[in-house]
Amino acid sequence: MAIYQVDSEDANFLFLEKTESPTHISLLYLYDQSALGGDFVRFTQIRQHIANRLNSAPVFRQKIRQTPGNIDFPYWENDQRFDLDFHIRHLGLPKPGDWRQFCIQIARLHSRPLDLSRPLWELYVIEGLDNVEGCPANSFALYLKVHHGAMDEFTALELMQSLHLYTADPQQHEHSQQKVAHLVAKAPSTTQMLAFGLLNNTLRSSRLALQLASNWSTLGRIATGLALRLARRAIDGESVSGTPSTRFAAPLSSSRVFDGGFYPRALLEKYAAEVPGATVSHALLAICGEAMRSYLQGLNELGAEPLQAMLAVNVRNAGAHALIGNNIAVTQVAMHTDLDYPVSRLQAIFATHPELQSIENEELTSFRLRSLYENLPAPLMAWLGRTANSKNSVTREVLSAGNCGVSEMTGSEKPLYLMGARLIGFTGIPPLFSGCGLMFTTSFYCDRVGITFVSDSSMLPDSRVMRRCLDEAVHKVEQYLLEKNHSKPLRSASRRG
């Protein structure tokens, strides 16, 4: 038996949790089971397979226990009444089972907060994908929802990938038992929590004071810049972060929208090759920026200043344990939406940010989320979380440093199978934060790249228009390459499944 306390970065996501801003992440997997002939993957088989793999991470059987008055960070404890059937659920799309219906269902699931009195995850098996382009009839999907306080999207991706095989095995669930033992987690008593909280907050306050003293000159420059931006905001209504304000910086509601598509990887690689040294990551930033620019321009809401993105990067070192929790960095990236698209913009993005995904990038490692929170006393962090969706909150102003968020997920380059069903594609769905209400996720798997987005329905009431802008952004790249090289099309660039 052991005591496990949530660390500062994970606690921040728990303190940010509210009905209008749930802080879970989601992973979405699409499967083709046509190769099984007349047979199909049954819900009971998936349930057994998941049950066999629950020990891959202790958080699947653990829940959080808050401290009195949030005097300290929460603790993990084993759920003595764990019920697997509460966490694994079965849904079916109504006819005709098309992409639009599927996106609406996913948006509804992503809108609902997790039950914080239980282990912080849910898995849905969704059947009835009968009319989705790129997916054969009778395809199905897995939708995993797990709290950001338990793990980041990169850890969740690694765990989900471990459920698959490189060969089709319809009886996979019969021999997937994983024998991994974890110490039982037990939270301290209320009296102990209060004592630990007083001690921990004293230590954090002391470390915070030392940190402030040792970085006084840097903090002075930051404070001066912030004061100037506050003055500009008072005069012109400009965001404190200096980022041009858009409709996606408004306070959040409790409703979400989701959409996106899958595109040929070869097309994006050819686009990136137009700028020596650029990668597909740079190309995807340019495409996401163009989709957002085009959408805002269609509403006559595009300002003169170029749009900015907040890029999330996995900074876990190679070989690090997958269950560390959150270990990500974010950095502000200019999308240069004031320049011609597609090539001039790609050149500018690469010139200003050549090392987008490198964990050695000083700009990223200096802005690891953990460093922002590790020395904050728990009551202060809890207050910042409670007020995050307020119009003038500090947290909201920090998160509005990007007009949108962009994260990149890398899957297998070889086909994967689940109980004999072939994985068609996958994507992730991050939480929204007040100040940054539009998130793009890009995902690599085999010869396809997924580009999906999630937003607040009050900010993006017409998600199909944003989807059309995304398809057009990819189509412009295809047209540019065709006109330049006089080559044949590389396949349709607007596939939904």
Higher pLDDT, 488 or 135: 135
Phi, psi of 175, rounded to the nearest 5 degrees: -140, 40
Q: Using a cut of 0.85, tell me whether the model's pTM lies above it.
A: yes
Q: Identify the domain boundary among 141, 160, 175.
A: 175
For residue 367, pLDDT over 50 is answered with no
Q: Are residues 252 and 171 in the same domain?
A: no
Please provide the DSSP assignment of 419-465 as one string: TTEEEEEEEEEPPPBTTB-EEEEEEEETTEEEEEEEEETTT-S-HHH
Q: Are residues 252 and 148 in the same domain?
A: no
Q: What is the mean pLDDT of residues 168-177?
A: 90
pLDDT tens for 251-289 read: 899 999 999 999 999 999 999 999 999 999 999 999 999
Q: Are residues 171 and 260 in the same domain?
A: no
- Tell me how many domains the chain contains: 2
Q: Identify the domain boundary among 175, 193, 217.
A: 175
> With DSSP H G I counted as helix, E B as strand and the rest as coil, what are the percentages for the chain, rounded to 5?
40, 20, 40
pLDDT tens for 293-343 read: 999 999 999 988 999 998 887 665 544 444 545 666 778 899 999 999 999
- Asked whether residue 217 is domain-assigned, the answer is no
Among 298-302, 358-362, 481-485, the least confident range: 358-362
Residue type, 59: V
CATH number for 165 = 3.30.559.10
Q: Are residues 254 and 171 in the same domain?
A: no
Reported as a pLDDT band with limits 50, 70 and 90, residue 26 is very high
- Asked whether residue 201 is domain-assigned, the answer is no
Higher pLDDT, 183 or 206: 206
For residue 399, pLDDT over 70 is answered with no
Q: Are residues 268 and 148 in the same domain?
A: no
Tell me how far apart the alpha carbons of residues 274 and 478 are, in angstroms, rounded to a whole number. 12
- Asked whether residue 232 is domain-assigned, the answer is no
292 in Cβ contact with 436 (< 8 Å):
no
Share of the chain above pLDDT 90, in %: 63
- Asked whether residue 135 is domain-assigned, the answer is yes
Mean pLDDT rounded to a whole number for the chain = 86
pLDDT tens for 373-383 read: 678 899 999 99
Reported as a pLDDT band with limits 50, 70 and 90, residue 366 is very low
Q: Are residues 155 and 263 in the same domain?
A: no
Tell me how far apart the alpha carbons of residues 302 and 367 are, in angstroms, rounded to a whole number. 29
Tokens found for residue 430: 């991050």
Whether residue 96 is preceded by a cis peptide bond, meaning omega within 30 degrees of 0, is yes
CA–chain centroid gap for 266, Å, is 24
CATH number for 387 = 3.30.559.30
Reported as a pLDDT band with limits 50, 70 and 90, residue 464 is very high
Q: Are residues 299 and 395 in the same domain?
A: yes
Tell me how far apart the alpha carbons of residues 421 and 89 are, in angstroms, rounded to a whole number. 19
Q: Identify the domain boundary among 175, 204, 239.
A: 175
- Which pLDDT score is estimated for 228? 59
Rounded-to-10 torsion of CA 378, 379, 382, 384: -110
- Which pLDDT score is estimated for 247? 93
pLDDT tens for 100-156 read: 999 999 999 999 999 999 999 999 999 999 999 999 999 999 999 999 988 888 788
Q: Are residues 262 and 171 in the same domain?
A: no
- Three-state SS across 371-422? HHHCCCCHHHHHHHHHCCCCCCCHHHHHHCCCCEEEEEEECCCCCCEECCEE
Q: Are residues 267 and 407 in the same domain?
A: yes
Closest CA to 428 of 458, 403, 459, 454: 454
Interior CA angle at 427 toward 437 and 131, to 5°? Answer: 105
Q: Are residues 288 and 386 in the same domain?
A: yes
pLDDT tens for 233-250 read: 555 555 544 567 899 988
Rounded to 10°, the helix 343-352/280-298 angle is: 120
- Which pLDDT score is estimated for 208? 80
Whether residue 113 is preceded by a cis peptide bond, meaning omega within 30 degrees of 0, is no
CB-side exposure of 437: number of CA atoms within 13 Å? Answer: 27
- Asked whether residue 356 is domain-assigned, the answer is yes
Tokens found for residue 464: 């199909």
Task: State the residue range of the domain holding 251.
Answer: 247-415+428-485
Please provide the DSSP assignment of 278-333 as one string: --HHHHHHHHHHHHHHHHHHHTT---SSPPEEEEEEE-PPTT--TTS---EEEEEE
Q: Are residues 167 and 284 in the same domain?
A: no
- Asked whether residue 496 is domain-assigned, the answer is no
For residue 389, pLDDT over 80 is answered with no
pLDDT tens for 405-420 read: 999 999 999 999 999 9
- Which pLDDT score is estimated for 484? 86
- Which pLDDT score is estimated for 178? 76
- Which pLDDT score is estimated for 359? 44
